[in-house]
Structure formats: C-alpha cells, structure tokens
Copies of this chain bind each other. A is one copy, B any other.
C-alpha cells in the first residue's frame, strides 16, 4: 500500500489519481503545468488573488482571456489573499496536505511572503515545490523581468527567425512560455517519481531561457559548421541550404510544405510533376547539389504547385509517400477530424465563452479512461469545497475567513465588489 491507497498490481483510474496540487500559476507557463496535472487525474486547486490572476481580466468590465479556458480545465478555483495573515496561514495548512505547489512568480516573491520553498518543505518534507521563471533563481540575470517576448530575444530565438531580408523576428506563438510550462510539469513528475524512491520532496526549478536552448539544435549545428559565426535568417528555406526541395510552396488556394529527405522522394515528385527530363540536368543531380541550386529547384516545384489546390497536392504526394502537409489556418486546425476523433480537441459549452473547442492533454496513456473535460473554474468557485475536503473546515470557520477578507468564494457578493 502507499499514499494513493493502492496495492501493487492494481490499475488506478488515471495516472495521477490521488495527488493534491496547489497551482499558483498565472498566464501560460505555470497554468500549463497545472493543466497537465489536472488532466492526468490530480486534484489541482488553482489559487488566485481576490481580483483574479492576470488573464482572468476582472474589473473594468474586461472578459477573461480565452486562454483562461484553454489552460485551466478540470481545476478547482480558490480565491485567497496571500498578503493577509489569515491567507498565509491557510495556505500553509493547505501546503501541509499537498503533494505539489507550483508557481511562476518572479524570483523571491514567495520567500518575501514568508511561504517560500524552505518554509513549506520544513512543514511538509514530502512536498514538491516547483517554480518556473525567465532566467532561473540564481545568477546575475535572475532578476531580469521575463515575458515570452524578452526571453525570445535573450535566448537567441529571434536572431534566427524571419525572412533573410528582414530584422530579427519573434515567433508568432509564445514558444518560450510553453517550453517553460512543459519543462515545469516534467520536473514535477521527475521529483514525484524520485519521492516514490526516497520519500522526500524536492525543490524543482525551471528557467524559460534554459528550457528553450535545446530547441535551437539546428541553428547551433549550423553555427558550429560555420566555425562559430551567427547563421543568417533564411525564411522558409533549409536552415543549412543543404537540401531541396525543402520549402513552403504556393498553391492555388494557399500554401503547402514539401520536403524531399531521401533521393526517392525527389524522384517520385519529379515523375509526378512530369519532369523526368530533369534526370539529366546537373543542377538536380543529388541532394547537396539541389541544396546549392535551391532557387532553380523551387522554381520548378512552384510552377507545378501554383496551379493546384492544397488538397490535390497533399493527396498526390501522400499517395507516393513523399513528406508533405498543407499549411493550415487555425479555423482548419480546430475543425480537424483527426484530433477530434482522438479526443485531443473537445467541444464544450463554457459558461464564460459559450460553444468552444478546447484541448485535452497531449499526454496519452494506453488503457487509461481519460478524464472528461470540465470547464475552467470561476474565481473562488470551489473555495468552500476545498477547505472542507482538504482541511475539514466547517462552514462558520470559512465564513469567518471570508469576512476577514482573506478568502473569496464565487457566491460571495463581497468578492464581486472587491474585484471591481
């Protein structure tokens, strides 16, 4: 038997059933780690200040950001003032019951509040305390203010993204926030596994800058090959110019991405295009030569793709097992029958957003009956339930804390007033 009350050999319903998590995450990074824990079956309590976390958008008539719905499904909501003495005491009591506390505040925020890792782990040595910041908790850059945009700049991402003739370009999505969040989850699971061996918790630390670094593998390889100098930006062309076709090509109704990794990919594409005459053209002789002559190669391929639809090109190349994909826009992506059929995308009637498409977890475990998707909680929606379940508080004690201004519950009119 063990903490989750199962004997060896018994299958539990979900991988993380029985785990208790306090999720202080805000915006994307921390909340994504909490989301993966919740979708794995853990009891994840999202703790927010009385006016809600940053993307809750309360006050001033602002609606919550749709990202709130994407990243907080299946969590329970608790509104708590960590700056109030009663709030701090209550948080400490919850942390004594928890398996995991996670946060993505700036370094030192929790220590200044008096509820940092050392305090919590002294009270609960089995606790995993996990934080994700821009540059980490130590070193000369630790105090730099970090958002996805500034980490994209500092990590080198912008320097290699964008067309050859333009300035350094941020990526159109918040890649560093999400590298931070998924590494945070990975670190938490590593520490939970280790605890199953040692019985002890760990403090887990993620820096977004460090979590992004390995993803620059192609670019760091090119820099190595250039003898240590900065590679140029190359738009959609092959990062090393060593292979063609490799590009995004125009279609009559959009674009398609095509790569010929192996020689037979090129041979099949060439036949499909009716251009077997190129067999004897020295510019198309082999992969390195085509890489150098990529302008000529791309001209031939574009002439063929330009007059065909994305669907026709994709179908023809897939039938020949040549790597291809249509460049899809987001409305096509959320309508994807494949991801819907796999249960990755779920239709839900959300109280704040209406009929929307929301993601389930990208972590899939065969034989698991996946949890049903529940909408992200309203601020303080489960304050009362969590205090009863985790701490056995009775109603009068909860009311007392609400009256003292340390707690908020969704059905508490004062919470509404305080928030606006």
Contacts and interface: CB of A to CB of B under 8 A. Distances in A.
Interface string A151-183: 111111111111100111111111101110011
B261 A220 contact: no
Interface stretch (A133-141, A268-276, A375-383, A384-392): A133-141
A366 interface: yes
Contacts of A178: 179, 214-215, 217
Interface stretch (A88-96, A231-239, A395-403, A405-413): A231-239
A160 B330 contact: yes
Interface string A176-209: 0111001101110111111011111011111101
Contact of A327 (B159, B179, B215, B235): B159
Q: Which of A2, A139, A239 has the most CB of B within 10 A?
A: A139
A382 to B, nearest CB: 23
Contact of A167 (B209, B255, B367): B255
Interface stretch (A79-87, A293-301, A357-365): A357-365
Contacts of A239: 172
A112 interface: no
Contact of A172 (B15, B136, B233, B342): B233
Given A70-B214, A365-B204, A160 B187 contact: no
A330 B190 CA distance: 30
A367 to B, nearest CB: 7
Contacts of A256: 153
A347 interface: no
Contact of A329 (B147, B159, B197, B325): B159
Given A187-B364, A207-B364, 13 more contacts: A66-B225, A144-B325, A149-B325, A163-B166, A173-B216, A182-B186, A202-B367, A203-B365, A205-B366, A207-B344, A207-B362, A213-B333, A223-B331
Which 3 interchain pairs have the tightest Cβ spacing? A196-B196, A189-B189, A8-B199
